[in-house]
């Protein structure tokens, strides 16, 4: 056996139940490498060809990363819902939810009915990890094996934490907050329709969304509660506190007063996973490509080119408008996203106006150029939610405006420091 292929051939042989001639494995491995197939993919291809299966690599949930394949995880199903998705123009029922172990909680999608229910402790072999909203999501696919276990996930007592300290994947969360608002919702689960509660929690300096998968009298608007053994899962980039049947909720005889702090420094939120309903202020340093007049798929709202959606193929495009800009306040910078209504608010263009500009110049880029002329260097304030992704933090604005008397305020602040 050629020395350089020895460890790879041994790995392939261990994954096969039948005896395969080593020379054949080496020859086929060489051929795949000549075509520049990565060695990991080449080994996986040969194992699959000869009817074997790779041994799954055990992972704790906190160690899972986007792109992981053939991993084994053990955890408890914290919540699960059933939904219908469109896959290559075919409707398919999938099951999604959250799974947790001693280290973290992660979202998951099961592409088949594995008869899972909230509270089940399971071992999943041949799972893989995909990118979902810039977070790792565990997927159970065609080759996955799911085994229900008669065991429990052991977690240690956790210290009391402020809402602002919570981040995606946290488990066994112990926190206190006042409920600013709360309302019921109906969702579809494996066992049919289920009523859940969602609302806004607040302590002295942070507001955060929360979801309760159980109905409790303690969870009412205006109540202050202590919650133990909750978990955090990001939704649209914003950390969301989740309460389920494993959590304990105790009503407290005091109220936590949320103090609106006004504008938030970008540098203070740059390191966080996300933030809910904050206000920032800064100068627009650049208008990013993809701003201005854009076309969307009418079915899924993806941005499309030449009337073709990668999911729904050829469609009647729906015109839209947006701005993606870099905003900087001197402490840090992030991407600011404005939808069509907010773009119109700061630029004065309707979508029809933008289409006229594009037609007159025979180029959609003309709209982006006009936006640059109007906004580059301008001081803006924006309210919205932030999320953290591969390229830094992004704030999707719910409102935007030009600050009034900013120079006077800044001068007063400067004099106060002196």
Residue 1 has a pLDDT of: 41
Q: What pLDDT score does 294 carry?
A: 92
Name the burial class of residue 107, with classes exposed (0-12), middle (13-18) and buried (19+) by CB atoms within 10 angstroms of its CB: buried
Low-confidence ranges of the chain (pLDDT < 70): 1-3, 14-20, 50-55, 87-88, 155-156, 190, 261, 405-418
Tell me: do 245 and 328 sit in the same domain: no
**Alpha carbon distance 338, 329 (integer Å):** 18
The CATH number covering residue 220 comes to 2.40.50.140
Q: What is the length of the chain?
A: 418
Residue 167 lies in a domain: yes
Same domain, 289 and 379: yes
For residue 384, give every residue at least 6 positions away whose Cβ sits within 8 Å of its Cβ, in sequence order, or none.
277, 278, 395, 396, 397, 398, 399
Residue 126 gets which letter from DSSP? E
**pLDDT computed for residue 14 by the predictor:** 64
The reply to whether 204 falls in a domain is yes
Tell whether 166 and 202 lie within a shared domain.
Answer: yes
What pLDDT is stored for residue 45 in this prediction?
79
83 and 38 fall within a common domain: no
CB contact set of 238 (below 8 Å; sequence gap of 6+): 208, 209, 274, 275, 276, 385, 386, 387
Q: Which of 98, 122, 149 is the last residue of a domain?
A: 149
Q: How far apart are CA 41 and CA 53, in angstroms?
A: 13
The answer to whether residue 372 sits within a structural domain is yes
Tell me whether residue 260 is in a domain.
Answer: no
Indicate whether 18 and 138 sit together in one domain.
no
**Domain boundary residue among 252, 285, 303?**
252
List residues bridging with 121 in a β-sheet.
76, 149
The pLDDT score that the predictor gives to residue 406 is 55
**392 falls within a domain:** yes
In a domain, 154, yes or no: no
Residues 318 and 405 in one domain: yes
The DSSP bridge partners found for residue 305 are 308
Residue 351 lies in a domain: yes
| Helix or strand run (H / E) with residue 376 | none
> What's the structural domain count of the chain?
4
Measure the CA–CA gap between 202 and 176, rounded to whole angstroms.
9
Question: Within this chain, do residues 326 and 372 fall inside the same structural domain, yes or no?
Answer: yes
Cβ neighbours of residue 370 closer than 8 Å, sequence gap 6 or more: 292, 347, 349, 357
Domain extent, residue 384, equals 266-415
**Structural contact between residues 76 and 101, judged by C-beta atoms closer than 8 angstroms:** yes
Question: Do 236 and 276 share a domain, yes or no?
Answer: no
CA 91, distance to chain mean position in Å, is 23
Residue at 308 is within a domain: yes
Cα-Cα end-to-end distance for the chain: 77
User: Within this chain, do residues 125 and 180 fall inside the same structural domain, yes or no?
Assistant: no
Tokens standing for residue 291: 């701003």
User: Dihedral sign, CA of 257, 261, 264, 265?
Assistant: negative
| 388, β-bridge pairs | 393
Going by C-beta distance under 8 Å and a sequence separation of 6 or more, which residues neighbour residue 73?
58, 59, 60, 61, 64, 99, 101, 123, 124, 127, 138
Distance separating alpha carbons of residues 115 and 107, to the nearest angstrom: 17
**Matching residue, tokens 């959590």:** 247
Q: Which of 374, 373, 376, 397 is nearest to 386 (CA)?
A: 397
Of 252, 281, 302, the one marking the end of a domain is 252
């Amino acid at each position: 056996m050629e020395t350089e292929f020895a460890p790879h051939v041994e790995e392939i042989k261990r994954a096969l139940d039948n005896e395969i001639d080593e020379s054949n494995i080496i020859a086929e491995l060489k051929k795949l490498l000549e075509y520049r197939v990565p060695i990991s993919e080449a080994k996986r291809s040969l194992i699959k060809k000869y009817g074997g299966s790779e041994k799954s690599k055990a992972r704790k949930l906190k160690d899972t990363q986007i792109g992981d394949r053939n991993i084994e995880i053990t955890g408890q199903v914290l919540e699960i819902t059933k939904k219908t998705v469109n896959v290559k123009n075919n409707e398919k029922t999938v099951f999604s939810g959250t799974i947790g172990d001693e280290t973290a909680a992660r979202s998951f999608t099961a592409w088949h009915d594995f008869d899972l229910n909230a509270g089940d402790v399971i071992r999943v072999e041949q799972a893989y990890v995909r990118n979902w909203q810039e977070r790792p999501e565990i997927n159970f696919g065609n080759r996955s094996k799911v085994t229900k276990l008669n065991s429990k996930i052991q977690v240690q007592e956790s210290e009391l934490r402020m809402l602002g300290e919570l981040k995606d994947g946290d488990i066994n969360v112990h926190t206190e907050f006042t409920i600013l608002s709360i309302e019921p919702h109906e969702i579809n689960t494996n066992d049919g329709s289920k009523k859940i509660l969602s609302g806004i929690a607040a302590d002295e300096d942070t507001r955060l969304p929360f979801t309760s998968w159980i109905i409790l009298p303690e969870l009412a608007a205006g109540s202050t509660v202590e919650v133990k053994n909750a978990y955090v899962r990001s939704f649209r980039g914003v950390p969301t506190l989740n309460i389920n049947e494993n959590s304990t909720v105790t009503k407290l005889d005091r109220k936590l007063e949320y103090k609106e702090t006004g504008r938030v420094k970008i540098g203070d939120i740059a390191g966080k996973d996300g933030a809910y309903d904050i206000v920032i202020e800064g100068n627009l340093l650049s208008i990013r490509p993809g701003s201005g007049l854009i076309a969307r798929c009418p079915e899924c709202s993806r941005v499309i080119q030449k009337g073709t959606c990668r999911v729904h193929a050829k469609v009647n495009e729906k015109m839209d408008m947006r701005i993606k800009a870099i905003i900087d306040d001197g402490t840090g910078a992030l991407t600011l996203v404005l939808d069509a209504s907010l773009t119109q608010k700061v630029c004065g263009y309707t979508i029809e106006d933008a289409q006229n500009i594009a037609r007159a110049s025979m180029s959609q880029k003309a709209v982006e150029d006009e936006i640059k002329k109007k906004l580059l260097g301008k001081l803006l304030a924006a309210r919205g939610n932030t999320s953290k992704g591969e390229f830094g933090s992004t704030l999707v604005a719910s409102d935007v405006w030009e600050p009034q008397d900013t120079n006077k305020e800044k001068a007063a602040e400067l004099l106060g420091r002196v």
